[in-house]
Chain A
């Protein structure tokens, strides 16, 4: 199945390309735009991006696999990223992590059967001073307590 960017997204990629002297530098941005459009990165997407940016598809793949924020399989509608690094750990991050694993009945990088939630254990997110924290898609939730976690998750639909 061939992948095509929407005209608006192609325009966004062109804007990104103009920021740099070499097209390849826009690959990370192009991958973000593709992931936004499609939910995750497929081989067809990588071929398309390679074509647009004059790259070899393998070089696109090596970028996709190097960074943790590109997914090669669909994740949940709400992708929950829990930081368990030191500063968060010292303030109860594993409790939050275990609470979510139990509540959603999924493990790291798994998706609930209804496709609503996915869970990821992540490294320091820069919220050490407001720990513990998680991010849901692009939003940070900080100074979490077990009660707050319940409330936040239950409020999502």
Chain B
């Protein structure tokens, strides 16, 4: 099985091992070509962002102005806070040098001399591991001023880690830039877009950790090689993080377009107790949930998932078995978005609170069928009316979960599901919690 981002090579995180396996040859090769040439190869490779929106990486890079007096910046997004996502930390731990090499090539292509890797504050250990790799690369003359001599080039680039401090919203690119500048992480109104007006008003490109880690193999093996892997419209491999009710949760690097059922049953070992699947969220908690009886034939790439009524997001697959209490799951998701809303836009600030409140009412057995329509109305009022996409992220799970599991939710509010039973046979693996206890 082809692995691009997390190859099975022991101790690959060490600089010498990475070098023995062809490390830092891609940047050497890239530096002999023109920046436009690099952008063109990345465009043709078909690489799309792995941070959620699956936008063409080469196209994004081409938005960076060619002539400007201002410094340009690359921000690598390692905020990784989307519930169900735990892939970027594997790169920090197991393949940090490929990320560094990818940064050097990317910075050369867009003309940036400084890169900030924004890593969520809770990742203390992974920040240390990543910093160690950066220090080793500096010491070996692969980064910074010294790379001019090492690679006989005029180009040089510095890499710094910026540590976050616990805010999901800082993964949103404009919030991330405000956070980096030392401000509250409020998302900015777009336009202007970061390529024109980003960090400190300068042209900036923001890419996900996994996206940038794909760059060195593309340069070394050619864009056509990459474009031939997986689904042609969204090529390459994807790090799928599988969690929830599966026997072998974990991160699986597989070609895009792999069947969702194959990932769950073949790689993640199926569902404990051979239970049926009630629901799967295929791309992290912000993405529309799919019904367990509608998974057949669903392929894991941006276009196929769109056709199936969801989105690839960060590739975080959350599996829920038939005994899962979907109302509690949805209430927990709603709580998350309410907690993480930065509060700038009224529809998001107030709407996320309403969604949580209504769902908690249903959990407490005081809901009605009208509440189900109300949930969808509130979700629709958030969607499209906010500064950033957290609005959609909060609205989608509610809207689609209630729509797609209307039968389940109606039974629940009509008390055809005994609350006692619902609480017992509920989503936790081991035992039950009482209604009061979830009212934290």
Residues of the B chain whose Cβ atoms lie less than 8 Å from the Cβ of A62: 183-184
B437 CB–A CB distance under 8 Å: yes
- Which residues of chain B are near A24, meaning CB under 8 Å? 181-183
A128/B124 in contact, CB under 8 A: no
Contact A22 B81 (CB under 8 A): no
Chain A residues near B281 (CB, 8 Å)?
86
- Kindly identify which residue among A27, A94, A127 contacts B433, using a CB–CB cutoff of 8 Å: A94
**In the complex, are the beta carbons of A59 and B83 less than 8 A apart?**
no
User: A-side binding surface: helix, strand, loop or mixed?
Assistant: mixed
CA distance A27 to B179 in the complex (A): 10
CB of B71 within 8 A of chain A? Answer: yes
Q: Is B185 located at the chain interface by the 8 A CB criterion? A: yes
CB atoms of B163 and A29 under 8 A apart: yes
**Which of A26, A63, A67, A85 is within 8 Å of B336, CB to CB?**
A85
Confirm or deny: B411 has a beta carbon within 8 angstroms of a beta carbon on chain A: no
Chain B contacts for A77, CB-based, 8 A: none
- A3 CB within 8 Å of chain B: no
Q: Is B162 an interface residue (CB 8 A)?
A: yes
- Indicate if B89 sits at the interface (CB-CB under 8 A): yes
Q: Tell me whether B85 is interfacial, beta carbon within 8 Å.
A: yes
A29 to B116 CA separation, bound complex (whole angstroms): 14
Once the chains are docked, how many angstroms separate the CA of A128 from the CA of B168? 15
Residues of A within 8 A of B244 (CB): 86-87, 90-91, 128
Residues of B within 8 A of A87 (CB): 83-84, 243-244, 318
- If A126-B120, A131-B249 touch, does A53 touch B433 (CB 8 Å cutoff)? no
| Interface presence of B440 (CB below 8 A) | yes
Using known A-B contacts A25-B182, A26-B182, determine if residue A69 contacts B427 with beta carbons closer than 8 Å. Answer: no
Q: Which residues A107-152 have CB closer than 8 A to chain B?
A: 108, 121-131, 135, 138-140, 146
- Of A26, A84, A108, A128, the residue contacting B85 (CB under 8 A) is A128
Point out the residues of chain A lying under 8 angstroms from B125, CB to CB.
138-140
Chain A residues closer than 8 Å to B85, beta-carbon distance: 124, 126, 128
Complex Cα distance, B85 from A22, in Å, reads 32
**Pairwise interchain contact A121-B440, C-beta atoms closer than 8 A:** yes
Residues of B within 8 A of A29 (CB): 163
Most B C-beta atoms less than 10 A away, residue of A87, A94, A130, A146? A87
Residue pair B428, A124 in contact (C-beta under 8 Å): no
Contact (A85, B250) CB under 8 Å given A63-B183, A68-B167, A124-B84: no
- Please tell me if A39 contacts chain B, counting CB pairs below 8 Å: no
Against A, the Cβ 8 Å flags (1 = close, 0 = not) of B145-166 are 0000000000000001011111
Q: Does the CB pair A126–B433 fall under 8 Å? A: no
Q: Select A98's contact among B80, B89, B242, B437, beta carbons within 8 Å.
A: B437
CB distance from A148 to the nearest CB of B (A): 13
- B interface residues, Cβ below 8 angstroms from A: 71, 80-86, 88-89, 116, 120-125, 160, 162-168, 179-185, 200, 241-245, 249-251, 281, 285, 316, 318, 320, 324, 328-329, 332-333, 336, 339-340, 342, 427-431, 433, 437-438, 440
Given pairs A129-B242, A138-B125, 6 additional interface contacts (CB within 8 A) = A68-B166, A89-B428, A95-B430, A123-B81, A124-B85, A128-B241
